[in-house]
Amino acid sequence: MSINDDYKKAIISFAKEKLGRDDLDFKVEYDKHHKKAFLILVVDCAKMDKNSSEFDESYYKLITREDEEKPSGIYLSFDDKVLDKITSYFIRYMNLDLGSWFHYKNYDYIDKIEGEIVDAIKKSSKPNVQIEFSGSGDKPKLTLGFYDLDKESFENHTSFNDYILELESIMGFKYNLDSYNVSRTMGSKS
């Protein structure tokens, strides 16, 4: 079962009105695997990234909020609140099973940042670590994944934070790496 264009337009219009920001890029797609439609916010990565010259604080605050009580690198997204309120309206009043998801655009600038982080890693105390930026549909921010970490950096949050600080220092504190969703593993990058 697909979703007709009139429903798509109504959902997108309602979402923009509910959030009070017309420049948000939404789309509605039917996912055959999940057998339901999804309201998708296409996140402008450059506007979300505090390390980007295009960072837009009001856009960022609307889409995500940092929880001050949790360690750095852990974020709560507005997906839990605002998108669910929008989708629940359509579930309740229109009998339309509607999920929520994120897609990404405007992330070409990240190649430069990734290259500088890779250069810093080569100069660091852990030159074999690898990184990769990625997007996860359930989070509005890009994830910076660290691979091939030693056991201490993987298991010990303080040790890992010290390594992040070391990288930021090597780069002259040009970038704040905690502005991304950060993941880490001892495994290799695939």
CATH label of the domain that carries residue 62:
3.30.70
124 and 99 fall within a common domain: no
79 domain-assigned: yes
Residue where one domain finishes, among candidates 68, 85, 105: 105
pLDDT of residue 113: 95
Checking if the pLDDT of 49 tops 50, the result is yes
Q: What is the DSSP code (8-state) at residue 182?
A: E
72 and 126 fall within a common domain: no
48 and 12 fall within a common domain: yes
Overall domain count for the chain: 2
Q: Mean of the per-residue pLDDT values for the chain?
A: 86
53 and 88 fall within a common domain: yes
190 domain-assigned: no
Checking if the pLDDT of 126 tops 60, the result is yes
Q: Judge whether 46 and 55 are in contact, CB under 8 Å.
A: yes
Q: Which of 64, 74, 60 is nearest to 184 (CA)?
A: 74
At 65, is the pLDDT very low, low, confident or very high (cuts 50, 70, 90)? Answer: low
10 and 87 fall within a common domain: yes
Residue 166 structure tokens: 């070391």
Question: What is the pTM for the complete model shown?
Answer: 0.80
53 and 9 fall within a common domain: yes
The whole domain housing 125 covers 110-184
177 domain-assigned: yes
Strand blocks (E) in 80-158: 98-105, 130-134, 143-147
122: number of Cβ within 10 Å: 11
At 4, is the pLDDT very low, low, confident or very high (cuts 50, 70, 90)? Answer: confident
At 81, is the pLDDT very low, low, confident or very high (cuts 50, 70, 90)? Answer: low
